[in-house]
Structure 1
Amino acid sequence: MRVVTSKSKNAESFYISKGYVNDKGVSTSVIVRKLGTLKELLPEHGPTRDDVMAWAREEARLETLKYKQEQEEKQIKLTFRADRQLDYGKQVFYRGGYLFLQSIYYQMQMQKICRKLKQRYKFKYDINAILSDLIYARILEPCSKRSSYKVASEFLERPSYQLHDVYRALDVLGAECDMIQAEVYKNSHFLGQRNDKILYYDCTNYYFEIEQEDGSKKYGKGKEHRPNPIIQMGLFMDGDGIPLAFSLFPGNANEQTSLKPLEKKILRDFGCQKFIYCSDAGLASESIREYNHMGERAYIVTQSIKKLKKEEKEWALSPQGFKRVSDDKPVDITKLPEDDKGLYYKDEPYTTKKLHQRLIITYSPKYAAYQRSIRDKQVERAQKMLDSGKAKRNQKNPNDPARFIGKMAVTKDGEAADIKQYLDEDKIAEEAQYDGLYAVCTDLLDDEVGDILKVSEGRWQIEECFRIMKTDFSARPVYLREENRIRAHFLICFLALTIYRYLEKKLDLKYTCEELLETLKGMNFAKIQEQGFIPLYKRETITDDLHEACGFRTDYQFMTKSKMRTIQKKSKGKE
């Protein structure tokens, strides 16, 4: 509503006017309220005309708020006929869970990145709409790009592009993958300070539904032990579990060679110079440690006790010299009960040719009991295999119970040697000596042990990132063939993971991935007689928390089309 004035020969009158569209589709207006003449209003709201106008505009604002409240509170009367069939091809079902993802997408200023791409490539399709829809579909209903277009057609905001535009956009997204990652990192600071003083790194691989190698899709050691060609991914994650950057490399390449190129990109394009590198032992070679000992960087990596030199290994396996992490008091770990939940450690300098390091050995009775129970069950299975005569070792599985079955050749008075199998007690005892032990190596020589171990323990989050991408977002198998489009596919998975993680953080990590995704997938609506929408989901604590975190509500009994458009604008930060 707005203020309008009318001047006559003797007076100037002030009114509040409301615009609307009449039945013929013509915009017009109506007077809602007369405020009075200038002469009448000056004594109370003066002393000048400008003062009167300021007061009138405030009255118009209040009148607008009152009108909106009345519209929201009024009862909606709808008429249904039992003898009328549905209209052909009329969509009634709409997905609304994407609105909460859209809130994070626009807070990350993704639309501005898309604007840069459009200026660079001069295409006509809406790449912002394509990228956002592909991300939302990857989270809510992971499927092929063609099927994702169909999923997006069920969103409250229908696609403004065609299917062929999606494939064209994939080429651009793949070509600009590195630039997009750098821009996303910079824009992510709009959502709060990044915990980028600790960076976790790990690698995984994804298989393709093809029979032969092609480009970077090579035969390698796949996590799923499938015979298909694979491509590998290296992923950096910050201390809060939010993805930072990723790279792809051939399936037959050594994963250790993937680190330095990606880390150099982070140093150059992201501006991250001071951080602690954290990884497992497989990505903690001597050269990697040296690289992360340079500049303002440091490292905390796991260390294989089995691969230590003889002297360090004997020290690590000895039960002597342990202290409680919480108070540094000496403890005899041989006298601790199995149900003890404490954590104990010992450390000493660990020097190589080029590095002065610190080797920390930890012991957990709870972890020791867990490992022992797992091994006891494997030994039982190994004995059953011996009793049945079907003991065969699976070399690909390091946890195969058959590893506890030994073999020896025996002869009977000049006859040919027979192979005798037996339960290898020495092998069992050798593994038992590592129960409960864990080793960490670092160049932080003066930091508190508790702080170092806390950083190392955070590595589980990067494993969870890979699990979410593979299982919940169905990042594999991959059906695309062209290299650019493959990069675009994993970029979409990476961005989906980033947006999901931020939403998870906004909810204070109160819900599991399964709970949150199931809720988002179920937040759907039915469109009623072109008048508005009825929610089709149950209101629960988690839906209340989602609405509170994102600043809008969709859980009213009925929502007019106008109200839903307002929510869509709010999810994009436009109101």
Structure 2
Amino acid sequence: MRLSISKSKNSTSLYVIKSTYENGVHSSKIVEKLGTVNELSKKLNGQDPIEWAKKYIVELNQKEDKENREVIVKYSPSKVIAKGEQRSFNGGYLFLQQIYYRLRLDKVCTKISRKYKFTFDLNSVLSRLLYARIIYPSSKLATFQLSTRFIEQPVFELQHIYRALEVIAKEADLIQSSLYINSLKISKRNTGVLYYDCTNYFFEIEQEEGLKQYGVSKEHRPNPVVQMGLFMDGDGIPLAFSINKGNTNEQLTLKPLEEKILSDFDLSRFIVCTDAGLASEGNRKFNNKGERAFITTQSIKKLKAHLKKWALDPKGWSLDDDGRTYDITGLDQTKDKDKVFHKERWMKENGLEQKIVVTYSIKYRDYQRNIRNSQIERAQKAIASNPGKLKKYNPNDYKRFIEKSHCTADGEVAEHEILTINTELISNEEAYDGFYAVCTNLEDDASAIIRVNKRRWEIEECFRIMKSEFKARPVYLSRDDRIEAHFMTCFISLVIYRLLEKKLNGKYTCQEIINGLREMDFLEIKGDGYVPCYTRTDFTDDLHEAFGFRTDYQIVGTAQMKKIFKTTKS
């Protein structure tokens, strides 16, 4: 490093610069701006600024030389390691920490702490709840214990976690709106399309209480559940969520959360995309106002007779913009297998004008029939081997194909219940194979509407990540405020994870990312630094490249690790 003096018309500025060599080109970069000669003269009490700068740079070079020295550590095969001494620490959280601080969540914690005037470090608690939810998902007690595995040690006690959950729940609206506003500074948000869906999470209890109510469990479990409604932006990043009682009608949850987005997030122009279960007439009308619009899946079976007849009519189909019309009964089963045909029309009911777009695909038809054939095989096996287990079933269960009767084919009364395959039901279902419909109030081309609707799978993936990777359920908390705060930490963790995934350009799977971060352990060499214990891979290379710091040297000196801490918090 050396001194650079830059003179302009009004001032002389001093810089610390360093020579670089990259891709065969010699250059230099500014390490630090020291200030102008006039500014330094005032600070240095008459000392010559240029002489001071030269001495300062000598000190910087000496410090850098010390950090770059080779480290020699002596080990004895006869000396036992100290009992109870932790030697291995995780450093994968550092990449999550950089996103956490760039979302300014530390500032949000400071604001909340000042409001409630408590003395424990809310920032330390919240950050560890989030890092652990992604890397070591577990209970709050286990999270407290596992947070000592991170290189930077926690500065709170177990009781502070539960106190933190209470204020996190109280400040849910502030946290969500701040998270969105601050995220705009680190990543462009695609809020032109918002996807909404609901899921529920079960508790290992039997007694209903507060938020925990018996409802239709998505996992078919006989336990009380709470319901989560989630908005996701067009890039798969969560936007806002709400927690409701487990027996709440899902259709009633969209409007209150959307109103919060309108008021707290300063958003007013967007398309809301939902599945058919959330597409009540009231929700469609709500998003038929102002600059809002909707796209929602539509059950063809539930259409009025004349619309159903039109939707299933084999004639009048289009393919992109080729200007032709097709009869789907004359399609080539091989050449046309990957093509998606569509038709559309407008309809007006109860004061709401909307367009229905229907698609037909041979591949989708075959997919549906393969699933049904597998279900029919299961039904046949059940009739032959387990007729006693055929009592209850849901609309998509294979048991729906089993017909029970107490008469023979000749109409005579049978002594025992007769089980057969309901071929009429199979035939009725097959009539809808390959068809798919959406409704919208947009005038856009059918292909554009279909393209938007296709991304609904990403919100389902959000739920899957929270349940499977973040272990968001079962929930072991009992108080409603702590339950809400638990899901707040899961939500923020998902935002951080998605932003990390985006920084890596979607190159790695969820398991590759989480396992990769979890495996980034270091052996602490007291007084010298940290030795990476992980395998350097394409993933770790891309991670370091994306975040602008490296932890994969043979040893990361103590001073260098402190610089990394500072980098992740800047």
Deviation, 1:432, is 1.0
Instruction: State the alpha-carbon separation in 2 of the partners of residues 234 and 353 from structure 1.
Output: 27
The residue that corresponds to 1:257 in the other structure is 252
Q: Which runs of 5+ in 1 are unaligned?
A: 4-15, 17-48
The residue that corresponds to 1:437 in the other structure is 435
TM-aligned CA distance change 1:67 to 1:380, over 3 Å: same
Deviation, 1:65, is 5.4
What count of residue pairs does the alignment treat as equivalent? 528
- SS, match of residue 185 in structure 2: helix
Q: Which runs of 5+ in 2 are unaligned?
A: 4-15, 17-43
The amino acid across from 1:422 in the alignment is: T
The amino acid across from 2:107 in the alignment is: K
Query: 1:415-470 CA deviation, whole Å, 9 max, x = no partner?
Result: 6665433222221111111111110100002x122211111111111000000001
Deviation, 1:550, is 1.1
Deviation, 1:381, is 2.6
Fraction of identical pairs, as percent: 48
- SS, match of residue 199 in structure 1: strand
- SS, match of residue 504 in structure 1: helix
Q: 2:333 aligns with which of 321, 327, 337?
A: 337
Aligned pairs for 1:123-134 (under 5 A) are: 123-134=118-129
Instruction: State the alpha-carbon separation in 1 of the partners of residues 476 and 553 from structure 2.
Output: 41
Contact 1:404 1:423 (8 Å CA) reproduced? yes
Q: Does 324-333 or 82-91 show the bigger shift? A: 324-333
Instruction: State the alpha-carbon separation in 1 of the partners of residues 411 and 269 from structure 2.
Output: 72
Contact 2:271 2:292 (8 Å CA) reproduced? yes
Instruction: State the alpha-carbon separation in 1 of the partners of residues 184 and 339 from structure 2.
Output: 37
Query: 1:5-24 CA deviation, whole Å, 9 max, x = no partner?
Result: xxxxxxxxxxx9xxxxxxxx
Deviation, 1:89, is 2.4
TM-aligned CA distance change 1:415 to 1:87, over 3 Å: closer
TM-score (structure 2 length as normaliser): 0.88
The residue that corresponds to 1:111 in the other structure is 106
Query: 1:8-41 CA deviation, whole Å, 9 max, x = no partner?
Result: xxxxxxxx9xxxxxxxxxxxxxxxxxxxxxxxxx
- SS, match of residue 190 in structure 1: coil
Contact 2:67 2:559 (8 Å CA) reproduced? no
Deviation, 1:88, is 2.6
The amino acid across from 1:443 in the alignment is: N
The amino acid across from 1:110 in the alignment is: L
The amino acid across from 1:424 in the alignment is: N
Deviation, 1:282, is 0.4
Contact 1:141 1:151 (8 Å CA) reproduced? yes
TM-score (structure 1 length as normaliser): 0.87
Q: Does 269-278 or 339-348 show the bigger shift? A: 339-348
Instruction: State the alpha-carbon separation in 2 of the partners of residues 338 and 129 from structure 1.
Output: 59
The residue that corresponds to 1:308 in the other structure is 303
The residue that corresponds to 1:227 in the other structure is 222
The residue that corresponds to 2:199 in the other structure is 204
Larger Rg: 1
The residue that corresponds to 1:37 in the other structure is none
Instruction: State the alpha-carbon separation in 1 of the partners of residues 97 and 543 from structure 2.
Output: 12
Aligned pairs for 1:42-441 (under 5 A) are: 53=48, 55-56=50-51, 59-60=54-55, 62-63=57-58, 66-325=61-320, 327-334=322-329, 335-338=331-334, 340-388=337-385, 390=387, 392-393=389-390, 395-410=392-407, 419-441=417-439
Contact 2:193 2:271 (8 Å CA) reproduced? yes
Instruction: State the alpha-carbon separation in 1 of the partners of residues 439 and 382 from structure 2.
Output: 39
Contact 1:394 1:400 (8 Å CA) reproduced? no
The residue that corresponds to 2:469 in the other structure is 472
Deviation, 1:353, is 1.6
Contact 1:469 1:497 (8 Å CA) reproduced? yes
The residue that corresponds to 2:32 in the other structure is none
TM-aligned CA distance change 1:528 to 1:327, over 3 Å: farther
- SS, match of residue 345 in structure 1: strand
Instruction: State the alpha-carbon separation in 2 of the partners of residues 400 and 80 from structure 1.
Output: 63
Contact 1:93 1:525 (8 Å CA) reproduced? yes
TM-aligned CA distance change 1:127 to 1:328, over 3 Å: farther
- SS, match of residue 149 in structure 2: coil
Instruction: State the alpha-carbon separation in 1 of the partners of residues 469 and 400 from structure 2.
Output: 34
Q: 1:515 aligns with which of 507, 512, 515?
A: 512
